[in-house]
A = this chain, B = another copy of it.
Amino acid sequence: MATSESKEAGRGLRAAGVQRTRRSILTAARRHLIETGYHRLSLEDVAADAGVTRVTIYRHFDSKLGLLDAIAEDLAQQAGLVPGMHEAAQVAEPVPAFTAMVKELCRFWSTDPEVFRRLISLSAVDPEAQRVVAGREHWRYQQISAFVQRLASADRLRAPFDVSQATAVVGTVTGFPACDEIATRLRMDLTELDRTLLPVLASVVRLD
């Protein structure tokens, strides 16, 4: 019974307090994640920093990995990646749609690069953490594949690339590790990186 919105964000002072502690844990965890990395992230320290007991963290997020997942979810939510990608997808012409998508990804990565740095590469390093990232990366590749297919339909794939090859290249180059490495090395802001990325991708798809 009760309210229709099952568990998350119920009404009332009680639920508001719950959300406050949840937020304080998340922000404290984010700070420590950036400083120490996931491996050396101590829930004891996070709890102390959030003004909370370690047990409370477990009651909210079940496990250390659950906390990580919540950080990732919060990040995507906060930055509004999904609506951003949808907006790009609704651009009528395939080429401007594609460039809008690349721009949107760069914007998303620029949202909180230091957390992404700790988060994304975990999937390669830690088998258990893989499932936290894998799902989101899968979604990203699905989106990219759609944009590439539209370009292919407009006969804008260069030889020798077919749809799957072009998707793989675009997905990798617009992924966070590549974007971060290029931007860091050129001391460039991630928000401007599309100006460098698009000329690179021009070898795969015709954008002129």
Binding site for B on A (CB under 8 A): 35-40, 117-118, 120-122, 124-128, 141, 158, 160-161, 164-165, 167-169, 171-173, 175, 177-178, 180-182, 185-186, 196, 199-204
Contact = CB atoms under 8 A, between A and B. Distances in A.
A184 to B, nearest CB: 9
Contacts of A182: 168-169, 172
A172 B164 contact: no
Copies in the complex: 2
A35 B186 CA distance: 35
A164 B184 CA distance: 12
B126 A37 contact: yes
Contacts of A158: 199
Given A199-B203, A201-B203, A204-B200, A38 B172 contact: no
Contacts of A38: 39, 125-126
Contacts of A36: 127
